[in-house]
Structure 1
Amino acid sequence: MGRLQDKVALITGAGTGVGRACMEIFAKEGAKVVGVSRTQANLDEALKAVTDAGGEGAVVAADLSTPEGAQKAFDGAMQAFGRVDVLVNSAGVGYNHVAESEGSMADTANTTPEKWREVLAINLDSGFYMCRLAIPHMQEKGGGAIVNVTSISGYQGLPAAHTYTAAKGGMINLTRSLCVAYAKDNIRANAIAPGFIATRMVADFLPLFDDEAVAESITPMKRPGTPEEMAYGCLYLASDEASYCNGTILTIDGGTTARQ
């Protein structure tokens, strides 16, 4: 307990999945948490879980695919707690986004320019918008930690979801570039690269793990990871325990990419 004691963590994508797990676990480790998502109801549930466990937090409903939404999120954190020590960029969409945006997870030949821009805005631009607001603040206060949630799809080729993979690959190299540029300011930038994680983003594919042979072909551990397992990776990178980690891409995939 207390690995983030007295720090303020701004966590995007906090309504569900990895972002929500980060919000709850960071609060248990002493951080004041500010959760951001597009859906107020999900945020309210996440905040209740934090406060019911004795933590302290706030939430901001915002669309981070726009500069204005990112500004709203950052301003909300500053109004709530007056500073941001940790930024976790977990906002994003995946395969389930097809239900509300047909064609968003297609291959290049079947992706329209509009869908390309849409997914990049949510999965990559949002991280850029948040970083460009947080970094000057962290410089002024003497340092901070940025943790980006990417994916092993950012360094794998896939038959579809090409905009998604491009965005995740972009976030990986943005993380490395942030490290190189801002280490002098005591700002660490790292990322986790999850594998197949049991979230609603991939809910339609979870039955694949019911077949042991198929499950083993996906990952040697033959099961999906959990949001909490990803959040603990983020916790490590955000904490002072990772004081010499900078530009690190921490793969948490049950061994999926070990075969490559």
Structure 2
Amino acid sequence: MKAQAKRTEPSLPDSFDWSAIEQSLDGHGNAVLPGLLSVTQCKEFTALYSREEGYRSRIVMARHGFGRGEYKYFAYPLPPLLDQLRHALFSRLAPIANRWNRQLDISVHYPDTLDAFLGRCHAAGQIRPTPLILQYGPGDYNCLHQDLYGEHVFPLQVAILLSEPGKDFTGGEFVMTETATKSQRAYVVALRQGDAVVFTVNHRPAAGKRAGMRKVSIRHGVSRLHSGKRHTVGLIFHDAR
């Protein structure tokens, strides 16, 4: 997958009900995009993991206390399909992110395009690309965490499951926790091969018991794998210092 000189913006599948996606994000902090990638596309991305070129770094989670497993951050230029999806999804999610900030009285406003937002990140020294591909084997897991990386943070991100549950691996569920002032909730998000989950990076607004909105803190991770190998692509929209 070599970078193209000129990007062609993809049209996301018409089958996605963006109104329902927005409602799910508002209510639970996550929403599934079924079949975002085809099986062939999933296999092509999985095959990239064993290559040396195209990445800026490799992280072994156990060395940093992140869990077990490993991941690689893509280098710029990103693979064309990944780059196109990152741009197209940002344009869909920016209006939701702006509404959330208004509800939480946060003054940050996100531009309509990813290029404009990345320009803001890069001007602040956040120049390292954050899209990544993760690999888990038996016994591996990812601790609950938030992908922040710097001053400029886009409040939504996307993970795409490349492997087939029950065939390529068992266990390894995508999990999220919500923490408010006096309550906690946990979610297990069921995904099929090629499905994507859009989810909250750090916090989302939620209706308070009284008038107004309250801030709910979100963390995400992956439960322990029982068998096989699990690969995932992560699309984070802000770059890192």
TM-score (norm 2): 0.27
Q: Which has the higher contact order (CA 8 A, sep 6+)?
A: 2
TM-score (norm 1): 0.26
Structure number with the higher helix fraction is 1
